[in-house]
Chains A and B, each alone.
Chain A
Amino acid sequence: MEAHSFLSKKGFKVQSFGTGSQVKLPGPSPERPNIYDFNTTYDEMYKDLLRKDSELYTQNGILHMLDRNRRIKPRPERFQNTREQFDVIVSCEERVYDQIIEDLESREKGDSYPTHIINIDIQDNHEEATIGAFMICDLVTMLHHSEDIDNDVDEIVQVFESRVKRPILHTIAFC
């Protein structure tokens, strides 16, 4: 979402998704996360948490995050439920990358629109998310400047990888 927000501000056409079956937010302890389904709006989550322990969730920034999110879009979306086509999909965790590919492969082959899926590992915390947003923006800007993304993506990913010094996964899917 951080990246979504950041890219939107830069003028990109962005959508953000989750790939799990539910939306999980940190709870009072790791064993007791707050779980919502995809129909819950950010606003409802915000209010729920505010009610549960406003101090804790202000402290760990969750409320702030939800506040940001609810101003971007009403509720979280699940990737597996969308049928839209994308030029580039960026994931921030290898597990998610796998899920995306699995989903795309299992989709019924339609118009065969090529989509590049790129994974860059970003830990799920606020600092990393901020850095990650910059990195993703960087990558996306590079891709955007390419006239022929299909041809250049390999090179760009390589350059990007050497720049951020993190392992990058990249593949193409037709959907």
Chain B
Amino acid sequence: MAGDNRRSTAAQFFMDEEEVSAEQVSTYDRVVELLNQASLLQRDSMKATYLRQVQELILFKEPNLLDNFLEEMIAFQSDRSVEVRKFMISFIEEACKKDPDLLLKIMPNLTALFQDENVNVRKKVILVMAGLYRLAVQWLSQTKAPTAEMQHAWEQILNLKSLIIDLVDSENDGIRTHVVKFLESVVLTLTRKSPESEVPKKQENDMNIEKIPENHKFLKVKKLEEEGSKLFDTLLKFQASPHVSSINLMTVMGSLTTIAKQRPVYFDQVVQAFESLHVNLPPTLAKSQVSSVRKNLKMQMLALLKHPCSPDFMPQITTLLTDLGAMQSEVMKCMPKAEDIRKRKAEEPPSTSSSSKKAKVEIDVDVEDDDIGTTPWSNKEKQPNLTQKQTAIDITAEDLVNRLNAHNVADLVLISMVMLPDSLPAHFQATYTPIAAAGTPGQIKHLARLLATQLTMAGMGKGINEVQRMAGENEEEQISTTEDGVASKQHIQTLVGGMTSTSEDLSKKPESTLLGQPFMGTRKGMKQFKLASVTKNMDRDLLDQMTVSSVKRILNAEKSALIGNALSERTKILASLVAQFGGELKNLLQEYIFEDLRNRADIAFSWLYQEYVVCHGFNRSHVGEHKIVLASYDECLTRLLNGLLERSDHRDGLFTRLFLEAPVITDNAVQILRKFCQDENRVHVGMGTLQEMILARPHHRPKYLLLLLEFASHDKLEVRNHAIRVIKKLYERDDLRKSIEGHALTYLKYLLAPKPPIELFSGTRLKTEPPEVWVEDCIKLCLYLYLGLLPSNHKLIHELATVYTATSADIKRTILRVLESPVRGMGMESPELLLLVENCPKGAETLVTRVIHILTDKTAPSPELVERVRDLYHKRVPDVRFLIPVLTGLQKKEVLAALPKLIKLNPIVVKEVFNRLLGGHANSDASYTLPLTPAELLIALHNIDPTKCDMKTIIKATNLCFSEKNVYTQEVLAVVMQQLMEQNPLPTLLMRTVLQSLSMYPKLIGFVMNILQRLITNQVWKQKRVWEGFIRCCQRTKTQSFQVLLQLPAPQLRNVFEISPDLREPLLHHVQQFTPHQRAHIPKAIMNVLEKDPVEPAVTAEKDKKEPVAPPVAKPPVAATDEESVTTQVLTNVPSPELCLKVTTRSFDDGRDSGDEEPINLPLKSAVVAVPIATEITTDEPIHNIHRSARPLQAQASRHMPMDDDSSQHAAEEEQVDENDATPTHDSDTPSPTPVPTLTTLTESLPDN
């Protein structure tokens, strides 16, 4: 195309030339004319053509003109045409070839051209320099007496050479290609020939270092030779670089082949390099490039095979060729002729086995040490090198062959399967050939060798170790800087290649590792190392877009990273990128993390740390002052936390981890935690986190603690309970105790404020306006935490007492209500509680009472508690109510003393007292003894001094006893009656009790008769009230009691009849039925009384008239409809149905005291039975009162059974306490305006007083 062919032009020229000579125009004129035309011409191509003609003329036709026109020609080097400049370079080359002395003059021009802006010109210089360098060495070595100018020129050449070599890392593919060619030429020049060397066809190119005189003035053979081998290594390294482009690769392969052919010293290294290249093709190559490269490799191998040196490497080369798909015939065709080999063998010295060769070389080296420069250098440095390198792979391969048994191979395959990429990589697809001879010894050997190559490349395996050991031994012998170079190069190469594993384990199949490495490098050669020089400022949008997409790619490369064992690096890269560039990347990463939180938490943390680092500027180079702005870090943390907040499952505990492991917790994060904690489903996790944070982050402890404490007064139950539970746990720590306590007390003291303080509603609950007054909820908010702590620290109770005394009734009520469980948690043994009871502050009586109640609710009071209560009662607050809870713990005497007061209390309370006293309370717990037996209690009631307590109250109390049918069985009652009867004077209520007992247990009739008889002997009539009762009893037990009545002395009997006239007739009748014998026993006086009606005859007559109408005997009673047969018995004695009926109706009348018969309802089911106990108007006031209170008592009695229930009891207690918030016993100034009906019960004194 653009490049015209010089030769064809030259050919044309010769034709012209003939014409010219025919015209006999002098060459000189011709040249001048051509030069003039060239300088005038505008068309570049023509210009080059003219100049080319000039070149022919002055170089070949009349070389003597060269000097004359050189200047003029050189002037064209700055021509604006690229073509012309390129031509000038080739002109310089041709000129120098003609006359090497020109180098002296021309070098600066060449250097100048090398700086040309056009890359094609520079490439041309590189190409030309390859030849010129060789020429210069040749020229200098032939010079007998080198001059200073020559040295100067040589320095310029060296200078240019090193400039060119530096370009091996150029970003321009073409330049690299040319540099490789240049290197090839230089290497050839600076190395020695050997007998097998292939000689270039052109003689001029056959320059090698042997031709330099050893003692040359400035061409130091040794140095040059070292340089040659170093450059050769550069080529090897270049070929093995992981991202070499296909063109470069093929070029360098060609160069290496050329070197190997011309310098067989390197044959082994080249073969080896090709071997490893074959299995380690650059991953950046496209599919077709792979085929091109393989084709090229095959060709190079065939070329090497043709070389006489190849028989030594026959197995490697042929295997490689087979792998590359070469036909057997092709291979055979290229094999060196058998006779050639034989001939060559013959030429060699007899001892050519590798070991002896090596030994010989070592001897040579020794010699060389003594005598530098005199010993011929043949192969001296290379040979040991060769042996070593060979053996490294060989040893490993040999080692491997035996190990490649079926089992190991299967393992290898299985392990490799994991590492396989999803799709076939291009080069694998291209290189894969089905293995025809699988399992044969040859194939195993081949496989072993492949593996060995890889292992050696990776610096692993038996071979490399041995070689290294050998190298160590040889170190003293100054062998091979080259070897080191090679070794280190190999090492670097493998690292870049992604072989990060350092284990010697066979299990890592090298191919797979290779396949798995991420394909992220830039496609071309070494570009990535020159990033800075090629970067331009990119368009902002494009930059962002590219950043995003590159991060996306990294995100998608998880699997590759996993296979490539680079997960941690990937994480770090991601974190750094996102932290540094932010923006959209944050969203990306966040999404990515939350897609698989469990496995990507590491990335999250890494990101967070990175943000922190960035915010703090830890990785900034300048340490100047800068404000630490945690905004970005905060955003990151908030994003992560919010993400977690939105997720539904929290099993992974990442939330907690994040809080605990984050370098700093920002305020926003705390807000999130706060939100988190308020979610019922997560409160558990949230609180746990908070607790951990308080423990693990002492620096900010107060802040977190405060947050936690606020939750303790949260309005959601769940949240609160969790918080309090956590606080309790923390409360056990000494360092936190104080602040927690302080907070609890602060809240407690809020209660002292006239209205709920605004602080109470800080933070979480500002949904509504804070209420103006204390409502129950608010009050409770203040108490939760405190009450939670109470069981842990009993001392706090005193604060409550203090607060309690000063607060309003509503708050007091609430406090009492919520007190139960904490106080129960404290237990009766708590010394602090006892202390409270002991010290009971003024105004806290209800509180203390409540506490005592709670304590003794389920269990018997402890002696200590009883002691305290007793003290309190006796010394400071003589309120009998204190005693109630501990009644069972008191002594009999004390109970008896308190009894009058106790029964005066509110009926409900009295009932409670009796419950306690009778042990109905103790749930059949017989473990403690009651201070009083039931019998004793009833007796005690009978014996209460009437001056201390009015009869009505006592009757109420005894009724309560009777209602306890379970306790007061007929035996107990019998005992009671027995004991009462023996007293003197008889208790007032004796007969009432007898009657009551009888109505309850009619079977007691015999016993009662007995008692009546005994009473007669005790002269019962002396006590008016008892006597009345006696008569009534007799009335009730008519017929049976007749015997008893008959035993009365006459005056008393008369008295009986006066009081109860209706007894006389039946008694008389009874007596009349007696046998005469029996009648004889009845005293005369008695009979008189019997027969003589004490009341007016009119009345008697009236009665007489009535008698037939109502026969006294065995009239079935109306009330007998009652199902109880026992009752029937009793009722048979009821005088008349009318009367009975009448009494009954009257008993339900509102008790008028006008009637001469005062009915009393018995608190029994059989309450219809009316037993008038006072028939006289003389009955004094208490009797009326009894009647009045009888109804409520009855009502209560009917309520009794359900009242045994605990809860209703508590309710009753609460009610009781509530209504007495200001205890009237002491607070005389408390108005007690509450019109609660039962208020009076506690303080009730008899209405008469």
* Residues of chain A having any CB pair with chain B under 8 Å: 12-13, 83-85, 87-88, 97-98, 101-102, 105, 108-114, 140, 144, 147-154, 157-158, 161, 167-174
Q: Which of B1, B8, B201, B286 contacts A87 (CB 8 A)?
A: B1
Residues of A within 8 A of B119 (CB): 147-148, 151
Q: Cβ of A109 and Cβ of B202 under 8 Å apart?
A: yes
B205 part of interface (Cβ distance < 8 Å): yes
A contact residues around B251 at 8 Å (CB): 172, 174
A153 to B119 CA separation, bound complex (whole angstroms): 14
- Is B287 an interface residue when CB atoms closer than 8 A count as contact? yes
Using CB atoms, name the residue of chain B closest to A149.
B174
Pairs of residues from A and B, 7 with the lowest C-beta to C-beta distance, nearest first: A150-B174, A108-B201, A151-B174, A151-B173, A151-B172, A169-B292, A171-B250
CA distance A170 to B177 in the complex (A): 14
Please indicate the chain A residues that have their CB under 8 angstroms from the CB of B296 in the complex: 101, 171
Question: Is the beta-carbon distance between B202 and A173 smaller than 8 angstroms?
Answer: no
B197 to chain A, nearest CB (A): 15
Q: Which residues of B contact A109 (CB under 8 A)?
A: 200-202, 205, 258
Other-chain contact of B127, A83, A87, A108, A112 (Cβ < 8 Å): A112
> What residues on A are CB-neighbors of B291 within 8 Å?
167, 169
Task: Using known A-B contacts A87-B1, A148-B174, determine if residue A105 contacts B299 with beta carbons closer than 8 Å.
Answer: yes
A174 near B181: Cβ-Cβ < 8 Å: yes
B357 CB–A CB distance under 8 Å: no
Q: Kindly name the residue among A13, A88, A111, A147 whose own CB sees the greatest number of chain B CB atoms within 10 A.
A: A111
Is B295 an interface residue, CB under 8 A from the partner? yes
Q: How large is the interface on B (under 10, 10 to 19, 20 to 34, 35 or more residues)?
A: 35 or more
Give the contacting residue for B295; candidates A108, A140, A169; CB below 8 A. Answer: A169
Q: Is the pair A114, B178 in contact by a Cβ cutoff of 8 Å? A: yes
Asked if residues A105 and B303 are in contact (CB atoms below 8 Å), the reply is yes
28 contacts between A and B (CB under 8 A): A84-B8, A85-B3, A85-B7, A101-B295, A105-B299, A109-B202, A111-B127, A112-B130, A114-B174, A114-B181, A144-B2, A147-B119, A148-B120, A148-B172, A150-B123, A150-B174, A151-B174, A151-B175, A153-B247, A154-B245, A154-B246, A154-B289, A158-B289, A167-B287, A169-B291, A170-B292, A174-B251, A174-B254
A88–B247 CB distance below 8 A: no
Cα A153 to Cα B251 in complex, Å, equals 14
The reply to whether A158 and B286 contact each other, CB–CB distance below 8 Å, is: yes
Contacts of B545 in A (CB 8 A): none
Are A150 and B205 within 8 A (Cβ)?
Answer: no
Query: Please, which residues of chain A bring their CB within 8 A of the CB of B6?
Result: 85
Report whether over half of chain A's contact residues are helix, strand or loop; otherwise say mixed. mixed
B746 contacts A by Cβ under 8 Å = no
The residue of chain A having its C-beta at the shortest distance from the C-beta of B123 within the complex is A150
- Hey, which chain A residues are within 8 Å of B299, CB to CB? 98, 101-102, 105
B355 at interface by CB-CB < 8 Å = no
Cα–Cα, bound, A114→B181 (Å): 10
A94 to chain B, nearest CB (A): 8
A120 to nearest B CB, angstroms? 10
- Tell whether A114 pairs with B177 under 8 Å between CB atoms, given A105-B299, A108-B202: yes
The answer on a CB contact under 8 Å between B250 and A172 is yes
Does B524 interact with chain A (Cβ within 8 Å)?
yes
Complex alpha-carbon distance, A13 and B524, angstroms: 31
* B254 & A98 in contact (Cβ 8 Å cutoff): no
The answer to whether residues A150 and B1 also contact, given A109-B200, A112-B127, A158-B286 and a CB cut-off of 8 A, is: no
Q: How far is the CA of A161 from the CA of B286 in the complex (A)?
A: 10
**Of A83, A101, A112, A161, which one neighbours B288 at CB under 8 angstroms?**
A161
**Complex Cα spacing A83 to B6, Å:** 11
Given the complex of chains A and B, what is the CA–CA distance between A133 and B119 in angstroms? 31
Q: Is B356 an interface residue (CB 8 A)?
A: no
- B351 partner residues in chain A, CB cutoff 8 A: none
Within 8 Å by CB of B200, from A108, A170, A174, lies A108
Tell me the minimal C-beta distance from A83 to chain B in angstroms.
Answer: 7
Q: Evaluate whether A171 and B175 lie within 8 angstroms (CB atoms) in the complex, with A112-B130, A148-B119 already known.
A: no
- A173 and B254 contacting across the interface, CB-CB below 8 Å: yes
Candidate in A144, A168, A174 with the most chain B CB atoms within 10 angstroms: A174
A11 to chain B, nearest CB (A): 9
Residues of B1-32 at the interface with A, using a CB-CB cut-off of 8 Å, are 1-8
Query: CA A102 – CA B172 in complex, angstroms?
Result: 27
Residue-wise interface mask of B (199-235) relative to A, using a CB-CB cutoff of 8 A (1 in contact, 0 not): 0111001000000000000000000000000000000
Assuming A161-B288, A172-B251, A173-B254, is B7 touching A112 (CB within 8 A)?
no
The smallest beta-carbon distance between B60 and chain A, in angstroms, is 16
> What is the bound-complex CA distance between A111 and B245, given in angstroms?
24
Query: What chain B residues lie within 8 Å of A98 (beta carbons)?
Result: 295, 299
Which residues of chain B are within 8 angstroms of A147 by Cβ–Cβ distance? Answer: 119-120
- Residues of B within 8 Å of A148, CB to CB, are 119-120, 172, 174
Report yes or no: B1 in contact with A144, Cβ–Cβ below 8 A: yes
Within the complex, what minimum Cβ distance (angstroms) separates B5 from chain A?
5
The interface residues of chain B lying within 8 Å CB-to-CB of A12 are 1
How far is A161 from B245 in the complex, measured between Cα atoms in Å? 16
Task: Evaluate contact between A172 and B247: CB separation under 8 angstroms.
Answer: yes
Rounded to whole Å, the gap between the CB of A148 and the closest CB of chain B is 5
Q: Are B289 and A150 in contact (CB under 8 A)?
A: no
B177:A105 contact, CB within 8 angstroms = no
CA distance A97 to B299 in the complex (A): 12
Specify which chain B residues have a CB less than 8 angstroms from the CB of A114 in the assembled complex: 127, 174, 177-178, 181
Chain B residue numbers with a CB within 8 Å of A101 are 295-296, 299
Whose C-beta in chain A lies nearest to the C-beta of B295?
Answer: A169
B173 touches A154 (CB 8 A): yes
Q: Which residues of B sit under 8 angstroms from A112, Cβ to Cβ? A: 127, 130-131, 181
Q: Which of B119, B173, B200, B299 has the most CB of A within 10 A?
A: B173
9 new A-B contacts, CB < 8 A, other than A112-B131, A148-B172, A167-B288, are: A110-B202, A144-B2, A149-B174, A150-B123, A150-B247, A154-B245, A154-B289, A161-B288, A167-B291
**Using Cβ atoms and an 8 Å threshold, which residues of chain A touch B286?**
158, 161
1/0 per residue, CB under 8 A from A, across B349-378: the answer is: 000000000000000000000000000000
**A98→B250 CA distance, assembly (Å):** 14
Q: How far is the CA of A105 from the CA of B304 in the complex (A)?
A: 12
**What's the Cα separation between A174 and B286 when bound, in Å?**
23
Task: Select one of B120, B127, B524 contacting A154, CB under 8 A.
Answer: B524
Alpha-carbon distance A110/B201, docked complex (angstroms): 10
Interface residues of B in 440-484 (CB under 8 A from A): none
Complex-state Cα separation, A97 to B287, whole angstroms: 17
Give Cα A150–Cα B179 distance, bound, in whole angstroms.
12
